[in-house]
Structure 1
């Protein structure tokens, strides 16, 4: 288990309210082909995606040296549950260069290592109901048409049980709800593609940990946010951050939230975060892509209002503007203006343009550098409170 960060507060008092993070990226899968599972190739994105998520958590004020932490619009922030620990398992293995200047060797996400890390994560989360647990997985996911199974890096290495390195996600969560007391957030960047191999197994994969179905739940605030829908793929650029993960990070970087109950800052909870991820996921994919990845069904209980992250200033909207038909682009420009009529203008000659502004009322539109081509199109005092908005303005 690779413990990348543990706060001084948690070292002194393990029961202090904190956010405990477990990041898993399975990419190498060296035994898939020899075991006859050629349909599941190795992946280049999981390690890169895990490190991107780790960097977001670790560049905040909780982990960085004093005065070097980034603003809440760029990195993790939650005064009610500061970062307490972060553990990372990835393949291919190697060292992770932390934002605060250390190099940590990373543990492989085999099923045994994953179980050990998961139980340690739960042990931390048993201690305080005000803590938050974040589990992030990027790698192969498969489905029997309904249930999602996640695949550890050593699938196929146990000759006596080739599928023992796959585990049942929902049952793992259900078992965890009877062990942890904290709020739990699961972000799963994996496919849910139908697998005939898993359907034809004598025994379906089990939960990562064991538990009884009896007894009251010790946590009732939890959610699973999946990267894709049933029987569909999740996509990633070769050698880049996966689309869902990129959308997640974009949403967390200042683009969603609601006023915190204390009146101090803006709370980023599952309700707002899921909507923002969905909007940014659309932007992450090429416009001409027909098989578009859409965010999957979110499982969970509670009112989904527990803040995972807290912004110190009002969230922003990313507004993308373009003209239709696109033949007008060479002479068209887009603009946005505030209540004081201060206007920001960008040319559309190279394609759609984006403006980032605080949530609120904004006036936007398009006009031509050649006034005889088309009349100015203007949309007055539109309330913009989404994370990412795309507007195609028809001109004639």
Structure 2
């Protein structure tokens, strides 16, 4: 498999506490035309989405030989440093790592995903302090209840095309009986209802086999899905998928909870889900047509285990504009801290954004030559990842 990174600590002691990452981006699907199921087609976003996730994990100090980006821009977890990162993508193309070097990724056929997944589990082992992150971007379908993910060789066998599909929930249930590590499943795929799947006699299996009656080794695990049951997930052509893009924006300094011990802010599933939902909605403000709605997080545990740790207080993206839009040429938006220090931005070219630490802020709008009276919201407590304000001018 395509092992892009392995830490020196893991090389010396494979059982040391670490974060192990498995990224899968299925986009080529060369056999879809032969079977013609459900209008599925090749995708451009999965490879780019997997690469964007890899860049975030590998740009921090754990993987960079010198320096690395701060926690507001790249992965950081002092309790479980980055131990390994494996990436499977299609079309198969070299991946340029932030620390230098070119790596050929492995094609995500079902057998290759199974192999990489088993190796990922072996790396996680029985260490309850380690973290496992599994990110999948590609086609997904649903039977109305469960989600199934589609490997890149779907349809290679016309007599049994669904042999290239695996069951998400059953994979999770098997996995939690194989490792004691905390687990994060990030699924960037559709959950569109597939009548072809419903009409199949045999149901696609999990990635690994296991028994339902075994006691879980871990009770700290979560699945965060890009969308809800029977709905689509979206992506721009030749761009990162909407869910992955929102997820990365959330991780770059916009969520976290004060650590119980030590300095910093833990980013667990609860904080990550809320911030990702906010950025997903914000990114779709100007998009016409159906908006993607983030799925609810599933799993079990208190969800206080940190996947990522911020060093600074999380930031809020404050987006401001005036209505009617005809006032924009004379309008300004502003924000003030508790010391009444003001930062202003003109609205001539449309909405403006401020990035400020969570906390107490005052903000408002005024106009050149006092065309309209100043609107002012004093001492507002801003804690969400995104705060949007539209000032209505009388």
TM-score range, shorter chain: over 0.9
Q: Which residue is equivalent to 2:51?
A: 51
After superposing on structure 2, the runs of 4+ consecutive aligned residues of structure 1 that deviate more than 4 Å are none
Q: Is the CA contact 1:126–1:181 (under 8 Å) kept in the aligned structure 2?
A: yes
Structure 1: gaps (5+ residues): none
1:172-201 CA distance string (max 9 Å, x none): 000001001100001111001111111111
Q: Is the 8 A contact 1:164 1:205 kept in 2?
A: yes
1:219 matched residue in structure 2: 218
Q: Is the 8 A contact 1:77 1:310 kept in 2?
A: yes
Determine the C-alpha separation between the residues in 1 that align with 2:64 and 2:302.
Answer: 32
Q: Deviation string for 1:365-387 (max 9, x for gaps)?
A: 0011130x210000001011111
TM-score between both structures, scaled by the size of structure 1 = 0.98
Which deviates more, 263-272 or 286-295?
A: 286-295
Partner Cα separation in structure 2 for residue 283 and residue 334 of structure 1: 19
Q: Does the Cα contact within 8 Å between 2:91 and 2:107 map onto a contact in 1?
A: yes
2:77 aligned with 1:93 = no
Structure 2 contact 110–152 (Cα < 8 Å) conserved:
yes
Task: Decide whether the 8 Å contact of 1:246 with 1:284 is kept in 2.
Answer: no
What residue in structure 2 maps to residue 109 of structure 1?
Answer: 108
Distance 2:389 2:299 in 1: 33
Of 256-265 and 57-66, deviating more is 256-265
State the 1:342 CA deviation. 1.1
Would the aligned equivalents of 2:34 and 2:158 in 1 still touch at CA under 8 Å?
no
| 1:66-145 paired onto structure 2 within 5 Å | 66-67=66-67, 69-145=68-144
CA distance in 2, matches of 1:259, 1:339: 21
Residue of structure 1 in register with 2:372 after alignment: 374
Name the CA distance, whole Å, in 2 between partners of 1:88 and 1:365: 46
Please state how far the C-alpha of 1:160 moved relative to its aligned partner. Answer: 3.8
In 2, Cα distance between equivalents of 1:319 and 1:294: 21
Paired with 1:171 and 1:127, the residues of 2 have a C-alpha distance of: 20
For 2:302 and 2:147, the matched residues in 1 are separated by: 24
Q: Matched residues in 2 for 1:127 and 1:220: separation?
A: 13
* Cα contact 1:14–1:127 (8 A) shared by 2: no
Give the secondary-structure state (helix, strand or coil) at the position aligned to 2:320.
strand
Say if 1:335 and 1:343, in contact at 8 Å, map to a contact too: yes
Q: Measure the CA separation in 2 of the matches of 1:77 and 1:36.
A: 43
Residue in 2 that maps onto 1:267: 266
State the TM-score, normalizing by the size of structure 2.
0.98
Give the Cα–Cα distance (whole angstroms) in 1 for the partners of residues 369 and 288 of structure 2: 33
Q: Which secondary structure does the structure 2 equivalent of 1:122 belong to?
A: helix
Provide the rounded CA distance (Å) in 1 between the counterparts of 2:231 and 2:224. Answer: 15
The CA distance in 2 between the partners of 1:294 and 1:83, in whole Å, is 30
1:1-396 alignment, distance < 5 Å: 1-37=1-37, 39-67=39-67, 69-371=68-370, 373-396=371-394
- Counterpart Cα distance in 1 of 2:334 and 2:29: 49
Distance in 2 separating the partners of 1:227 and 1:218: 27
Instruction: Identify if the C-alpha distance between structure 1 residues 37 and 239 changes in structure 2 by more than 3 Å, giving closer, same or farther.
Output: same
Deviations, residues 328-347 of structure 1 (Å, cap 9, x unaligned): 11211100011111111111
Q: Which segment is superposed worse, 254-263 or 131-140?
A: 254-263
Counterpart-to-counterpart distance in 1, 2:142 and 2:39: 13
Distance 2:38 2:273 in 1: 33
SS across alignment from 1:142: strand
Rounded to whole Å, the distance in 2 between the matches of 1:290 and 1:90 is: 29
Please give the alpha-carbon distance, in whole angstroms, between the structure 2 residues aligned to 1:62 and 1:382.
38
What number of residue pairs does the alignment pair up? 394
Deviation at 1:262, TM superposition (A): 1.3
Q: Distance in 2 between matches of 1:324 and 1:255?
A: 27
Q: d(CA) in 2 for partners of 1:36 and 1:236?
A: 21
The offset of 1:233, in angstroms, is 0.7
8 Å Cα contact 2:35/2:161 also seen in 1 = yes
**RMSD between superposed Cα atoms in Å:** 1.0
Answer yes or no: is the 8 Å Cα contact 1:145–1:194 preserved in 2: yes
Change (3 A) 1:62 1:288: closer
Q: Check the 8 A contact 2:74/2:252 in 1, yes or no.
A: yes
Of the structure 1 ranges 141-150 and 18-27, higher mean CA displacement relative to structure 2 is found in 141-150
Q: CA deviation at 1:288?
A: 4.6
